[in-house]
Chain A
Amino acid sequence: MTNSQQQQIFESWLQEHKGIFFKIVRSYSAVPQDQEDLFQEIAVNVWKSVPNFRNNCAVSTWIYRIALNRAVKWSLKVRKQQERESDEEAIKVLQPVEEKPDERLAWLYEQIQKLDEVDRSLCLLMLDGFSYKEMASIVGISESYVGVKINRIKKHLTEQSKKM
């Protein structure tokens, strides 16, 4: 695969599935400068993964797998780094363009951010309508365990919504 072919495929993926990028970025990082950093990391990793895509799953599944993997690693790394970051790193590069913030959506993101890394991934996949089988393959746990975890997450979110 040539560089330009890789670039072309990546651009079409980004165009078609940018929602996945943004949802993951927003779920794994609450602070704008972190969102920007994570977005760039995910974009670079998805771009690198293009030649390895073998059409044995949907593109969205592939992107979720790469992006969630990166996001989990990033969030573990960022915890250690955050204390060392200097003020100048706080310059914002990604600017939110959302005009009317939906409060209920913001609440939902807030709740997702509070979940641990694996539950966060499962919650995103569940909300985006992935099957248990697909979730198990992306996250790397058994299908039955996905079922158990999903039930717990649903229960947890419903309980939290009652406190709103």
Chain B
Amino acid sequence: MEFDEMKKIWDTQSNVAMYAIDEEALHNRVISKRNKAARNASKMEGILIFSLLFASGIIWSAMIFKANYELPSLVLSGIMLVVAGAIFLGRRKRMSWQNGFENTMLGDIDQAIANASYQVALSKSSRWLYLTVSVFAVLSVFNEASEWWKGLLVTLFFILGYFAARWEHKTFYVSQKRSLESVRKKLLQFQEQGNVETGL
């Protein structure tokens, strides 16, 4: 085929729409994103509360078993219990505003963004908690361990863990929130074009 013929084939394309926007599919996509954000937030809360209670339980068991109630361990365990309680209260508060969004496509995406923002905040707070726990744990190892390299290994482990948590925060939580905000922007764009009823 010569190029001129290709040009003719190309020119046969009419200027009519090659695509139509499937509003139902778009709404399903939004609902799916909303549910995913809520599920992720719940999962994260569950893991954090369980881990904190479990770790606190271990510290208490060790203290009772050794009959040695040291102040750093008591403080650390107390912090863990307080944080677990705070997460639980935060979860209850989150559940209470879940139904406060409009029953529209835009309301659904706003709910997903709110859940994602909550998750970002939770992940950020967890990193601070991690740092606190790390400091106590490292101090405790340096106090008890006879060899300095054991303390160094634990310190390195916590540093690596901190960077892994930071990576997770940016890769999953922040990017999910950005993706949802981008969907919202697109929805508004469609609404402005009059293609989709978003409830505005």
Please list the residues of chain A having a beta carbon within 8 angstroms of any beta carbon in chain B.
7, 10-11, 14, 18-19, 22-23, 26, 35-36, 39-40, 43-44, 47, 88-89, 91-98, 102, 104-105, 108, 127-128, 154, 157-158, 161-162, 164
- Total cross-chain contacts (CB, 8 A): 84
With beta carbons under 8 angstroms apart, the residue of A18, A35, A128, A161 that contacts B17 is: A18
Set of chain A residues within 8 Å of B19, measured between Cβ atoms: 22, 35-36, 39, 94-97
Chain B interface residue count, CB cutoff 8 Å, equals: 30
A-B contact pairs, 18 of them (CB 8 A): A7-B192, A10-B193, A11-B193, A22-B19, A43-B193, A47-B189, A47-B192, A88-B29, A93-B26, A93-B29, A94-B20, A95-B25, A97-B20, A105-B13, A108-B10, A127-B7, A158-B1, A161-B6
In the assembled complex, how far is the CB of residue B18 from the closest CB belonging to chain A, in whole angstroms?
4
**Contact of B10 with A43 in the complex, beta carbons under 8 Å:** no
**Contact of B28 with A91 in the complex, beta carbons under 8 Å:** yes
Residues B165-200 near A (CB distance < 8 A): 185-186, 189-190, 192-193
Q: Please give me the residue from chain B that is nearest to A90 by CB atom.
A: B29
**Contact of B186 with A14 in the complex, beta carbons under 8 Å:** no
In the assembled complex, how far is the CB of residue A2 from the closest CB belonging to chain B, in whole angstroms?
13
With beta carbons under 8 angstroms apart, the residue of B12, B25, B28, B185 that contacts A102 is: B12
A14 to B21 CA separation, bound complex (whole angstroms): 15
Set of chain B residues within 8 Å of A158, measured between Cβ atoms: 1-3
Set of chain A residues within 8 Å of B3, measured between Cβ atoms: 154, 157-158
- List 20 additional A-B contacts (Cβ < 8 Å) besides A47-B192, A157-B6: A11-B193, A18-B17, A23-B13, A43-B189, A44-B189, A47-B189, A93-B21, A93-B22, A93-B25, A94-B22, A95-B21, A95-B22, A96-B19, A97-B18, A97-B19, A98-B18, A102-B9, A102-B12, A105-B12, A161-B1
Prevailing SS type, chain B contact patch: helix
Q: Please give me the residue from chain B that is nearest to A160 by CB atom.
A: B1
A105-B20 contact, Cβ under 8 Å, with A14-B193, A93-B29: no
Please list the residues of chain B having a beta carbon within 8 angstroms of any beta carbon in chain A.
1-3, 6-7, 9-10, 12-15, 17-22, 25-26, 28-29, 32-33, 36, 185-186, 189-190, 192-193
Prevailing SS type, chain A contact patch: helix
A35 to B186 CA separation, bound complex (whole angstroms): 14
A25 to B190 CA separation, bound complex (whole angstroms): 17
Q: Please give me the residue from chain A that is nearest to B186 by CB atom.
A: A40
In the assembled complex, how far is the CB of residue B91 from the closest CB belonging to chain A, in whole angstroms?
24
A18 to B1 CA separation, bound complex (whole angstroms): 28
Q: Please give me the residue from chain A that is nearest to B19 by CB atom.
A: A94
Q: Please give me the residue from chain A that is nearest to B3 by CB atom.
A: A154
Set of chain A residues within 8 Å of B25, measured between Cβ atoms: 91-93, 95
**Contact of A127 with B6 in the complex, beta carbons under 8 Å:** yes
**Contact of B36 with A88 in the complex, beta carbons under 8 Å:** yes
Set of chain B residues within 8 Å of A88, measured between Cβ atoms: 29, 32-33, 36
Set of chain A residues within 8 Å of B13, measured between Cβ atoms: 19, 23, 105
A155 to B1 CA separation, bound complex (whole angstroms): 11
Q: Please give me the residue from chain A that is nearest to B8 by CB atom.
A: A104
Set of chain A residues within 8 Å of B9, measured between Cβ atoms: 102, 104-105, 108
A92 to B17 CA separation, bound complex (whole angstroms): 16
Q: Please give me the residue from chain A that is nearest to B192 by CB atom.
A: A7
